[in-house]
């Protein structure tokens, strides 16, 4: 078994601030993802990475940067936090089998509040 660890669990920032969320996995999975979870909007992909140093933009990448310096870690930066922004950011990883992404394993999330 393995685990995905997201830090911090709660993040409170000020408007305009640059904020970084971190994610570590010990599954040895190839692909890692960052999703944003908003009520009624489902899980929306921000960035994903299929290997170390690879970055692929998702539908919601504007306003975010990502970094995959090691296979086991994937960080997300909110480049300029928006006032009244509240969301949960979920990190996930998956193994690649037969050319497609397999089951996603999720972290417990980082809840962001911007004052």
Partner 1 sequence: GDSVTQKEGLVTLTEGLPVMLNCTYQTIYSNAFLFWYVHYLNESPRLLLKSSTDNKRTEHQGFHATLHKSSSSFHLQKSSAQLSDSALYYCALSHTGYQNFYFGKGTSLTVIP
The residues facing 65 across adjacent strands are 77
In whole angstroms, how close is the CB of 43 to partner 1 at the nearest point? Answer: 4
In whole angstroms, how close is the CB of 75 to partner 1 at the nearest point? Answer: 18
Enter the tokens of residue 113: 């509040």
Residue 13, CA distances (Å) to 55, 58, 88 in order = 25, 24, 14
Whole-angstrom distance, CA of residue 87 vs CA of residue 51: 26
Among 56, 79, 82, 113, binds partner 1 (CB under 8 A): 56
CB 29 within 8 A of CB 81: no
In whole angstroms, how close is the CB of 106 to partner 1 at the nearest point? Answer: 4
Residue 42: strand, helix, or coil: strand
| 104: contact with partner 1 by CB under 8 A | yes
Rank residues 33 and 74 by Cβ distance to partner 1 and give the closer one: 33
Rank residues 47 and 81 by Cβ distance to partner 1 and give the closer one: 47
In whole angstroms, how close is the CB of 21 to partner 1 at the nearest point? Answer: 15
Rank residues 23 and 81 by Cβ distance to partner 1 and give the closer one: 23
| 60: contact with partner 1 by CB under 8 A | no
Query: Beta strands 73-78 and 19-25: pairing type?
Result: antiparallel
């Amino acid at each position: 078994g393995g685990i995905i660890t997201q830090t911090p669990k709660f993040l409170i920032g000020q408007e305009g601030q640059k904020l970084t969320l971190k994610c570590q996995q010990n599954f040895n999975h190839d692909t890692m993802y960052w999703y944003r979870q908003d009520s009624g909007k489902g899980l929306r992909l921000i960035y994903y990475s299929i290997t170390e140093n690879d970055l692929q933009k998702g539908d919601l990448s504007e306003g975010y940067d990502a970094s995959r310096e090691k296979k086991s870690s994937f960080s997300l930066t909110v480049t300029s936090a928006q006032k009244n922004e509240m969301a949960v950011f979920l990190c996930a990883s998956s193994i690649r089998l037969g050319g497609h992404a397999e089951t996603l394993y999720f972290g417990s999330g980082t809840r962001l509040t911007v004052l």
